[in-house]
Structure formats: C-alpha cells, structure tokens
Amino acid sequence: MSIEDKIILKIRDLSVSTDGNQILNGLNLTVKKGETHAIMGPNGSGKSTLAKTVAGHPDYLITSGKIKFLNKDLSSMSVNERSNLGLFLGFQYPIEIPGLSNTAFLKAAINAQRKFYDLEDISAHDFLLQLKSTADQLGLDQSFLSRGVNEGFSGGEKKRNEIMQMLMLNPKLSILDETDSGLDIDSMKVVARGVNSSRSEDSSTIIITHYERLLNYLVPDYVHVFFDGKIIKTGNLELANELEKKGYEWLIQKK
C-alpha cells in the first residue's frame, strides 16, 4: 500500500472566508486510516468552519489551498457526493426537520448511499433490525425513532442521534463537532462507547472538543490546538490534560 492510499484526509495550506471575513489561515492537516485526531481550541477559532468546509457547506469559500478526501480533490464535489464517499459530519447544532420521522430520514440517507454504490434499496426488515439494535446500543427509546428529526429533542438526544446516524451510515471519516458538549457523564460514556465501536483500521475520526474527559475515553493519536484559523500545536493526550489545567493562554502567548 502506498502512502497515498493510507491517507484519508489531506488538507494543504487551506484558507477559507465567509461573508468576506478570513476564518481559516493556511491550515495543514493529514489524517491517516485508523487514526483518531482531536482538535481543541478557543471559541471562534474556526473549528466548526473547518468541519463545514470539509463537508462542503456553500457559505464557506476556499480562497486558497486544497482538500483531498480519499485522494480525491473535493473542490468541485457536491455535499451529498462527499457524504456518499464516506464523509460524516456530526453537527455541533443538529438541525430540526419537523414532521419527517427520524426513521424515514435515516432510511433515505442509507438508500442514497446505496444508490451511489449501485446497490438496491435496503430491505425494510434489515433496516429496522439494524436501527433497533443501534438505538438500543445508544440507550435511545423506540419512540424516539418515529419522532421528527431532532424535533423537540433535548441537547443530549440530539447528540446521541448524530452518533446513531454515524453508526448506521458507517463512514470512512467522521468529524464530530462538539458532540460531547452539554452531555452528562452517562451520556458522554454512551457517546464515547458508540464512537469507539465504530473505530476500525480503515476509518478515522476527528473529534472537536473542549474537554479532555471525552478524550480520556477515546485516547486520540493526536491532539491539535487550533487558534486563529490554524493549528498552532500538536501533541497527544498529555497535551489535552495540560490544556485542561492551564487553558489556552500560555500557548497563545508563547506564540
């Protein structure tokens, strides 16, 4: 296997603006198969911007640089195609779609992916079986599946729902944007277990978080510190522990 084949995501010199404001400033990041990366950093430093740019949100304009996902240039690829190829974004603020049942939505998502790979629609039976066991695994009640997508969900339910979608879609790269924010310890453990169960040699995860707590469960291979639209330091779990104690100030000042 060549080096290129082992790389899932390669970001080179990426600058991004939105509404005329430069948010990302020459960012570099390489994620290989099987790796888990954590991104930490102060509010407003551009972490969500990075996640949405990789996913192809139309509000974010790439002013320079390149993003390659599975060795394919993403610049002209539609949002849904990126997803079909195996990119998953766990939203910091999951969106409500009133009236559309969680189940119908997830089934449409799975069938869109299957269509992309020229597969027939999933059978209702297989789908429901898989859905039920995934929901059980995440401690989500059955009634939850027939409710509207994120409609009136609590913060914790929304985040578990994101993880449920991730497990059902079985992506190659998951970017989880503050999936642990607003969760109590038990919910966090459930989410961490969900993420851990999805880890494999061919898939990778980027966790955007403010807390070392989740990272202690997940043990990332790398911890990056994000500031002013780029990575200013990279380390491992120890760096996360240090940030938990000292905050970001010392790093920013050193710079």
Ligand X SMILES: Nc1ncnc2c1ncn2[C@@H]1O[C@H](COP(=O)(O)OP(=O)(O)O)[C@@H](O)[C@H]1O
Residue 45, contacted partner among another protein, Mg ion, ligand X, none, CB below 5-8 A by kind: ligand X
14 near ligand X, judged by CB under 6 A:
no
25 near ligand X, judged by CB under 6 A:
no
47 near ligand X, judged by CB under 6 A:
yes
46 near ligand X, judged by CB under 6 A:
yes
66 near another protein, judged by CB under 8 A:
no
CA atoms within 13 A on the CB side of 85: 17
61 near another protein, judged by CB under 8 A:
no
Nearer to ligand X, 21 or 123 (CB): 21
In this structure, what DSSP letter does residue 97 have?
Answer: E
Taking alpha carbons only, the member of 48, 69, 114, 137 closest to residue 106 is 114
Among 5, 26, 44, 115, binds ligand X (CB under 6 A): 44
Among 36, 48, 113, 187, binds Mg ion (CB under 5 A): 48
Choices 32-40, 104-112, 123-131, 133-141 (CB under 8 A): range interacting with another protein: 104-112
Residues from 140 through 179 that contact another protein (CB under 8 A): 148-149, 165, 169
Say how far apart CA 27 and CA 31 lie, in whole Å.
Answer: 13
Q: Which amino acid is at 29?
A: L
How far apart are CB 182 and Mg ion at their closest, in Å? 13
Task: Give, in order, the Cα–Cα distances in Å from 57 to each of 15, 34, 36.
Answer: 15, 26, 23
Residues from 59 through 78 that contact ligand X (CB under 6 A): 59
| Per-residue x/- track, 105-144, another protein (CB under 8 A) | xx-xx--xx--x----------------------------
Task: Give, in order, the Cα–Cα distances in Å from 1 to each of 4, 30, 35, 223.
Answer: 8, 17, 16, 26
Helices (H), the chain: 3-6, 47-55, 79-84, 102-116, 124-137, 155-169, 185-198, 212-218, 237-246, 249-254
Q: Count the site residues for Mg ion by CB under 5 A.
A: 2
Determine which helix (DSSP H) or strand (DSSP E) holds 208, and give its type and residue range: strand 204-208
Say how far apart CA 181 and CA 183 lie, in whole Å.
Answer: 6
Using CA of residue 30, residue 34, residue 38, residue 39, what is the dihedral sign? positive
91 near another protein, judged by CB under 8 A:
yes
23 near ligand X, judged by CB under 6 A:
yes
48 near ligand X, judged by CB under 6 A:
yes
| Contact residues: Mg ion, CB under 5 A | 48, 92
Residues that bind another protein in the complex, under the rule CB under 8 A: 55-59, 76-81, 83-84, 88-89, 91, 94-101, 104-106, 108-109, 112-113, 116, 148-149, 165, 169
